[in-house]
Amino acid sequence: MRVFAFIPVLLSAAMLLAGCNQPEKSAPSVAVVDTARVFRDSEPGKAGVKFLESLQEKMQGELNALQETLQKNPEDQAAQQKLQETYMNFQQRMGAEQQNVITLLNDATQRVLDDYRKEKNLEILLTSEAALSFDKSVDVTNDIIAALNKRKVTFKPIVPETAREPAATAPATSGVKTMPARNATKGAPVRNATAPAQNATRTGK
């Protein structure tokens, strides 16, 4: 009788010991990337900004020349119309060029992030904006910049100079504003320009 009385106790002790010996599930491997700095400091990011600035400078030069012509003869209705059409056309074109640069940079950066995550056996890559707090040791921004610098990203005008068409005529005004300078790569998301929710790259499990 006493022997059988000890059996439940022995079984309970064995189960408790087995539970203690079970390996703990490791935390997911995570790294953090400052995407704003990637776009700002990487060579492709700098090249994209330089490309847009060169386009804007050329467009502004053309607008200035038209403005000078109109100033010599303010009553020239044809010159006024051409100035307005050119200005609107340049605004639309610049917006399209900026979006194209963002798309090219996003695509190149995403490929770098995917390759880096697989190479380092990481489960998640987070943007620094999405992480409320993290240790500097998990910040791999420099590695991503170095990898992106090895990628060739070519920026070309999406609208050839010879194929530009004037935009619809705008109401005449007394003058033309300077084309606004925009930083096309500031704070750009990694996956695409309209998906800020894509803050993490996860393994397909």
pLDDT tens string, the chain, 205 residues long: the values are 454 454 454 444 444 444 455 555 566 799 999 999 999 999 999 999 999 999 999 999 999 999 998 888 888 888 889 999 999 999 999 999 999 999 999 999 999 999 999 999 999 999 999 999 999 999 999 999 999 999 999 999 986 554 455 444 444 444 445 554 444 444 444 444 333 333 444 444 4
| pLDDT for res 122 | 94
How many Å apart are CA 151 and CA 143, to the nearest integer?
Answer: 13
Strands 124-127 and 200-202: antiparallel
Measuring CA to CA, how many Å separate 38 from each of 25, 34, 186?
33, 6, 10
| pLDDT for res 159 | 65
Inter-helix orientation angle 141-149/43-72, to 10°: 70
How many Å apart are CA 203 and CA 205, to the nearest integer?
Answer: 6
Strands 124-127 and 30-33: parallel
Nearest to 145 by CA among 51, 40, 31: 40
| pLDDT for res 183 | 47
For the chain, domain boundaries: 27-202
Fold of 27-202: Protein Binding, DinI Protein; Chain A (3.30.910)
Strand partners, 104: none
| pLDDT for res 76 | 86
Inter-helix orientation angle 77-119/43-72, to 10°: 180
| pLDDT for res 26 | 60
First to last CA, the chain: 52
Other Cβ atoms less than 10 A from the Cβ of 87: the count is 21
